Amino acid sequence: MILILSANTDRNGAEFRQLMTHLEHLPNIQSRIHQETGTKQTLTEIYLIGDTLVLNEAEMSVLPCVERVVRVSEEYRVLGRHKGDNRPTSFEYNGLRFGQDTLHVFAGLCAVDTPEHVERMLKALQENGQVCTRMGAYKPRTNPYSFQGHGKKCLPYVFELAGKYGIKCIAMEVTHEAHIMEIKAALEQTGNPTGIMLQIGTRNTQNFELLKFTGRQHEFPVLLKRGFGITLEESLNAAEYLASEGNRMVIFGLRGMKTNMGDPHRNFVDFAHVPVIKRLTRMPVCIDPSHSVGARTRNPDGILDLMHVTAQGIVAGANRVLVDFHPEPSKALVDGPQALLMKELPYFLEDIRIAREAYEKRVKLAQANA
């Protein structure tokens, strides 16, 4: 059960103390307080865990400070959508709003290699009106002898260049809690020129200790990628780990599944699940066409598979696209074969715009026919 308190409830006030004393006396019930401070108001929610079936909704709703009571019947207590639940489906970070109704493109380098390539990428993004990017510094690789990413060494120049080109949010994968500390330190050292969205990759979707640590920090939002060989339910539970530790700025990423049936692509593209995640949870949904398709295969209609699947995800309502670009793919240290080219950036953005417009028209059509 979730108690949603009136906005700006004072946690030091007498009424709040009265409420907490009442909750402490409920048998076999533990409560966990979650507070979210936005630009306009502070929202407080209390999660009641344990024998909540015996609690009476009407009685709970008249307790001091309580505005509304939501009975959580399904899984994903924090991130799920529940009956009568109108909690937000968006969050703000560094001046940007990420929601189930917004769309952001995170085009960039799969792996940071040289400052020159980083700068060429960021400059192109700025010229095309983009304020988000992806830059991999810590790369989990299948082969231990493959390039593992430049790690903390590259962070200062990546952050400074991002600031120079007006980037507000960089998606950066972390595979260990130490990486989060290194990112924090490098941001401070460079004067916080940009923002970071931590990325938990498909190989770490169920790394529960990493999830708990990442959830306990509330500074950076998190993109959690679906595990490539587990059920959707298991991946959504992994997202819930982040939120249950207090960080609800979570975006769920689809990046394809490992199955032989996906043979023509690196992974079996799963973007049909975009609306499903939006229905089950309050998370914005990201698609990653690069790691799904894995190649620059072009079709008889002249369109790359990469662009076909991106459009499919957008037409289904995706909120974010994470995509590999590279100024010189033949020199890329990771995933060159799937990188889009700098000159394709305006074309890619225009193709996305067309797909988004189609999605918006489809929503209007559905409303008119409801």
Alpha-carbon distance 47 to 242, whole Å? 15
Binding mask 276-295 for ligand PEP (x = CB under 6 A): ------------x--x----
b/e string for 172-202 if b means 16 or more Cβ within 10 A?
bbbbeeebbebbeebbeebeebbbbbbbbbb
Binding mask 232-271 for ligand PEP (x = CB under 6 A): -----------------------x----------------
Residue type for position 132: C
Residue 110 found at the interface with Mn ion (CB under 5 A): yes
In the list Mn ion, ligand PEP, none, the entry touching 133 (Cβ below 5 to 8 angstroms by class) is none
Residue 113 found at the interface with Mn ion (CB under 5 A): no
**Minimum gap (Å) between residue 165 Cβ and ligand PEP:** 21
> What one-character-per-residue DSSP string does 284-344 give?
-EEE-HHHHH-S--B-TTS-BHHHHHHHHHHHTT--EEEEEEESSGGG-SS-GGGPEEGGG
Spatial contact of 255 and 289, defined as CB atoms under 8 Å apart: no
In the list Mn ion, ligand PEP, none, the entry touching 32 (Cβ below 5 to 8 angstroms by class) is none
**Minimum gap (Å) between residue 210 Cβ and ligand PEP:** 13
Q: Which alpha helices (DSSP H) does the chain contain, by range? A: 14-24, 57-61, 115-127, 155-164, 177-189, 208-216, 232-244, 274-280, 289-293, 305-315, 345-368
Question: Is the CB of 19 or the CB of 135 nearer to ligand PEP?
Answer: 135
Q: Which of residues 287-346 bind Mn ion (CB under 5 A)?
A: 335
Question: Is the CB of 48 or the CB of 222 nearer to ligand PEP?
Answer: 222
Q: Which of residues 107-146 bind ligand PEP (CB under 6 A)?
A: 110, 136
**Minimum gap (Å) between residue 334 Cβ and Mn ion:** 5
| Cα 320 versus chain centre, distance | 8
Cβ neighbour number for residue 343 with a 10 Å cutoff? 9
The span of 4-12, 47-55, 83-91, 197-205 binding ligand PEP (CB under 6 A) equals: 197-205
Binding site for ligand PEP (CB under 6 A): 110, 136, 173, 201-203, 225, 255, 288, 291
Binding site for Mn ion (CB under 5 A): 110, 335
